[in-house]
Amino acid sequence: MRLVVSGATGFLGGHLARRLVAERHEVIGLGRDAAAGARLADDGVRFRSIDLATADALAEAGADGFVHAAALSSNWGRRQAFVAANVTGTANALTLARRLGVRRFVHISSPSVGFRFADQFGVSEDAPLPRPVNAYAASKGRAEQLVLAAGDLSPVVLRPRGLFGPGDTTLLPRLVRAARQGPLPLLRGGEAVTDLTHVEDAVEAIIAALRAGPQAAGRIYNVSGGEALPVRRIAELAALRAGVPVAWRAVPVAVALLAARVLETRALLTPGRPEPVVTAYSVGVMAYSQTLDISRAARELGWRPRIGIEAGIAAP
């Protein structure tokens, strides 16, 4: 197949593009990082430098599938930036896919669209969405709506939870950096659990979505490792892997949230609006359990995770 991967210079997109090339597909990778694009080209990806937030042009004859993995992913930032990258960028990706005659459009969304400041176990794809917790979640929710309305592209939406694995520079490294700086906050006695997704399992889910029949069109699928571990245990495993000692300090959730709100307000009043050390969303992730029901992906896509959290973190 001839496939387009946006966000190919990112963590998930890079893994996906290389895997598709290894399976002898012709891959056109889109991204903004020229250096990362050059490395993709060395691995057989036809890299094209393009920013979908501002452009939807691509001098290509056609494609069978389009995986839209490009996004601005952060729990802090200007609303306009999230709208440009995640809403306008998705609209432009859909326009480009139509011009290329794509038969299947796979959109990478996020379970953050369903985040609440409360424990949630086995959240299904059909669960009513709450008010967005931040600008990122709002933009991803709007992008999902655009994709699902594009029935002519046989769209599929995937919501992978907490990607980690080789090349991760965000999720687990952020925890390790925080551990280096001092005690981590122990919220609600450290009882919160979550499920993560190894990047290779996410790649398998995307491939399953590309190959799925018409029954998958217009559907949303949760993606995760299928096991829940305490957030405390995940942080300790990541720190152990990096050789960093971990200390904990018990903090009431109400106090942590108040401190986060104060820091957010201060950041909003500071020139450049720098990301605060902690946000309300990051406190919520540490304090409340969030797990996904992935049974729909098993039933309809034939996909199941293969790499557990502990094994994935321990792997070289």
Q: Which residues are catalytic?
A: 136
> Given the DSSP bridges, would you call strands 290-292 and 120-123 parallel, antiparallel or unpaired?
parallel
CB atoms closer than 10 angstroms to residue 48 = 18
Question: Of 56, 43, 19, which Cα lies nearest the Cα of 30?
Answer: 56
Cβ density class 117-138: b for 16+ within 10 Å, e for less? eeebeebebeeeeeebbbbbbb
The CA distances from residue 205 to 19, 79, 185, 237, 294, in Å, are 12, 30, 34, 25, 11
| Cβ neighbours around 37 below 10 Å, total | 20
CB-based contacts of 140, cutoff 8 Å, min separation 6: 71, 86, 109, 110, 112, 113
What distance in Å separates the CA atoms of residue 275 and residue 32, rounded to the nearest whole number? Answer: 22
Query: Which amino acid is present at 229?
Result: L
